[in-house]
Amino acid sequence: MADSSSLAAQMDIDEAAIDEGLYSRQLYVLGHEAMKKMAASNVLIVGLQGLGAEIAKNIALAGVKSVTIFDPEEVTIQDLSSQFFLRANDVGKSRAAATLPRLAELNAYVPVRDLGGKPGDEVSVDLIKGFHVVVLCGVSYRKQMEINDWTHENGVHFIAAETRGLFGSAFNDFGPKFTCIDPTGEQPMTGMIVSVDKDKEGVVTCLDETRHGLEDGDFVTFTEVQGMTELNGCEPRKISVKGPYTFSIGDTSNLSDYKTGGIFAQVKMPKVLDFKSLRASLQSPETLITDFAKWERPSTLHVGFQALSEFRSRENRLPRPRNNEDAAAVVALAKDLDKDADEKVLKELAYQATGDLAPLNAVLGGFVAQEVLKACSAKFHPTFQHMYFDSLESLPETLPSEAECQPTGSRYDGQVAVFGKVFHEKLTNHRQFLVGSGAIGCEMLKNWSMMGLGSGPDGIIHVTDLDTIEKSNLNRQFLFRAKDLGKFKAEVAAIAVADMNPDLTDKILAKQEPVGAATENVYDETFFSGIDGVTNALDNVKARLYMDQRCVFYRKPLLESGTLGTKGNTQVIIPDLTESYASSQDPPEKETPSCTIKNFPNAINHTIEASSAQTWSRTQFDNLFVKPAQAANAYLSEPNYLESTLKYSGQQKEQVEQIVSFLVTNKPLTFEECIVWARLQFERDYNNDILQLLFSLPKDAVTSTGQPFWSGPKRAPDALVFNTNDSTHLEYVIAAANLHAFNYGLRGETNPAAFRKVLDSVIVPEFTPRSGVKIQVSDSDPVPQASGGDDDEVDLTSKLPSPSSLAGYRLSPCEFEKDDDMNHHIDFITAASNLRAMNYGINPADRHTTKQIAGKIIPAIATTTSLVTGLVCLELYKVIDGKNKLEDYKNGFVNLALPFFGFSEPIAAKKAKYGTTEWTLWDRFEFKNDPTLKDIVSYFQKEHKLDITMVSQGVSMLWSSFIGKKKSEERLPMKFSRLVEHVSKKPIPPHVKHLIVEVMVSDEEGEDVEVPFIVVRI
């Protein structure tokens, strides 16, 4: 057996720089400091069945210094129930040795080693020396305590975990005095203040535009306070919240009088945790509640898992599936520890002890892997100290018999032990549609392949994703390898999981067609009638809403999930039972007023990108390197472009000026001219425009009420004087010149010396501010229009070359791409936003932060993805069983940083009523054989005593009670398909077999009544 201390020494390699291309999404969750600590941490994982493999996968993807594995036991066919790194031809080999090659493939930066050993060897204290974190999976409590006694005394972080069927447990001991640097991982709060009371309480009042977001016990410090200057840069002061816009900072009576201004900033304070050893904790446990509807469950499982371990030690085996004799023995052992423990739950734990389920391993494996990362990095709050989890609700309504659950030497024995053969067969013949095969999609397919979903004679899995594989995907989309870059995700994922479980060969159909209105000929009625449900693995709301609408129409169950950093959510949508995804949505994000972006920024977000609509540096990028090139190309290629397009744009003069500039007056022939152009852009945006703003609104300007104009959120700017020795100034010119050169197909340059040589000789025209320039002070003010009349436009137009004189000539617009570090895109946006920040005295942002904001990058980490997909699959068991009560299902929300689990019943579909009939969003009226409009109107009058007042389909209003007698007489007798074509003036596509129709109706009293939509079969 290898000596672990020498192994640890070998691992002591130089810490490499973090690969931002690979880890970019995870960096936005953990940050550079935490990842550097992880990159110096050696982790040992003992036990390589399904749970150990899941933990190992997640921490290898995350990027620790090394992963060492220990499990010399021989692979059995039952291990294939959930150990996705193993294959049938590995049976008989050492588990760790068979796992190592596939685990090592996941991350080239993380060496994976096997401690070796022979079957029957147990982990010992000698083996664990030299590691920073030790994780024991499925190890007896006796061995856990032996190892933990040593780790507790020797500063090694210890985690123990196991899963038994639908039950799981985890325990942390990070030693006495473990310091957690950032308990929540949330961005520190910051805000502008308008007053500080000089008294014992020291109440701070914030600007009433935004709530301060602080909580009692938080700490803050201050900058830019005038008058009470002692607060600037003060030691963090503990606050108590007084209201949404006020908080107290304690005694300020001995400070100077407050005058004006100031910014508070929350300070994250470290938290010291005193962990107990497992031996001590078993006697007086502290547990994390994972489901508030099961308040008593942790105490039962606390003794239940100990009883299982004791049974195994005595009998040298686990309890047999659904065997009452063995279960009674486990219950008796547990009752010796706690006479009040829930006997029913204990029996199920014993029944399922040999169960091994991929979804439960995914939940526990994601959770425990995040705890490992907390131990390595001190980022986020560790679990203190026991965590118990179960999903007993996933059991089928008809419980299996003991005979049904017996092992048969199959890879599915671990699942059959819990659910029985009958349910397992039902699961293999299930037909599911997976929409998306990115991070969640990969994890979902891995779980499904272990479960055998769709592997039966009638089963099938459809998966679609139009995306190809990029480098940043490899950090959490674990079915992909570097060799797969550029290939279609769905195809690669389908091949990878069929390799994990050959039963899925030819059972996964991969598609590249995205879901949407344009592909309803592919995903049509025939397609939906051939599936039993849909699982979304999407990354945008628009596609989610579309699939939700399709599932409501075709009455299919939908499993929805999403992640954001350490946060994740799951939602179950069941026909006739629950509301749909679209029934409740988050409120829209608050947008920053355009006048703030343009003239009065006060935060770094305002200078980078405030929202989808409002930007500064992103707008600069588009206005300089995208739109002018597109306009010039349109002028050169589209006949009558000026007359037809510009006529309606409202910005004719500016666009003509732009085209003249890019094709005539400022068209560069050399890269040196691009440098000059970039230097003049700097002058315009960061000097001249600011001088003009201060000329129109001087620093001593006052409002109509006599208050200083430049106060509160309005920060008075200063013009920048260009300096080649200022790195930000030079970075702006380098990026802008290279992007301008790209537009014209000129070769770029990045050598600062070459730039300085040109810049030193640039002659910058002197700027004189103009009188009468209107400034938009609030969004209610009209946007100032550029001066100049039609004569100017005619004069400018005459300067344009004729398109024929530049036949074939085209510019190259820049297509914004955030993940290419060599294309100068993020470099420009970083420099442009930071120059703008310098104008306004705002703290600049680094390139990494800028990239996230400008690129709208969603933070992501493999641990959350793993846990969330596990939760979805636990709900999928219920969907396959056909459960039909709200309380059978659970929507979930988790935050691994805290950690926090929250589960709730799905919300019932809202009921409405017409006459005496109740209905929900799942109901509809259906008409067959292409009826006439008159048939439909008559049906409502005759059957429901309702008068139709308006009929619409898509964007077309087909008929209403006020359209006039002639049109009404013409349309009422028409077949419905003919009517739609007549009004829309478009033929119905051949693949369309039905039309969705909305109607407005009124009852006999003339009151408007809401009714379901109508489906007309044509």
Query: Which amino acid type is present at position 159?
Result: I
Numbers of helices and strands, H then E, in the chain: 33, 33
What SS3 state is found at 567? strand
Residues 163, 297 contacting (CB under 8 angstroms): no
Tokens 């005595």 belong to which residue?
314
Strands 203-206 and 190-196: what pairing?
A: antiparallel
* DSSP code, position 260: B
Rounded CA gap, 306 and 331, in Å? 11
φ/ψ bin of 929: left (φ > 0), alpha (ψ from -120 to 50), beta (otherwise): left
φ/ψ bin of 461: left (φ > 0), alpha (ψ from -120 to 50), beta (otherwise): beta
Report H helices in 118-220. 125-128, 141-154
Backbone angles phi, psi at 844, to 5 degrees: -70, 170
Rounded CA gap, 989 and 48, in Å? 55
Backbone angles phi, psi at 866, to 5 degrees: -60, -50
Rounded CA gap, 80 and 83, in Å? 5
Rounded CA gap, 1001 and 406, in Å? 60
- To the nearest 10 degrees (0 to 180), the angle between helices 20-38 and 847-855 is 130
Let me know if 234 is a catalytic residue: no
Residues 902, 567 contacting (CB under 8 angstroms): no
Tokens 């963090």 belong to which residue?
236
Return the structure tokens found at 284: 């007086």
Tell me the torsion sign for CA atoms 737, 738, 740, 741: positive
Rounded CA gap, 668 and 686, in Å? 23
CA atoms within 13 A on the CB side of 152: 17
Q: Is the peptide bond before 385 cis (omega within 30 degrees of 0)?
A: yes
Please provide the distance, in angstroms rounded to a whole number, between the alpha carbons at the two ends of the chain: 73
Q: Is the peptide bond before 10 cis (omega within 30 degrees of 0)?
A: no
Residues 573, 447, 866, CA angle at the centre, nearest 5°? 80
Rounded CA gap, 36 and 376, in Å? 10
Return the structure tokens found at 998: 């909305």
Return the structure tokens found at 700: 């001593």
Contacts of 172 (CB under 8 A, 6+ apart): 157, 158, 159, 275, 371, 375, 382, 383, 384, 385
Residues 599, 603, 609, CA angle at the centre, nearest 5°? 75
Contacts of 765 (CB under 8 A, 6+ apart): none
- To the nearest 10 degrees (0 to 180), the angle between helices 790-797 and 652-660 is 20
Rounded CA gap, 901 and 893, in Å? 6
Q: Which of 206, 442, 595, 873 is catalytic?
A: 595
Of 115, 97, 105, 25, nearest in space to 60 by CA: 105
Rounded CA gap, 396 and 563, in Å? 28
CA distances to 667, 809, 827 from 642, rounded to whole Å, are 20, 18, 34
Query: Which amino acid type is present at position 541?
Result: V
Residues 370, 566 contacting (CB under 8 angstroms): yes
Return the structure tokens found at 754: 């070459």
Of 404, 318, 304, nearest in space to 347 by CA: 304
Active site members: 595
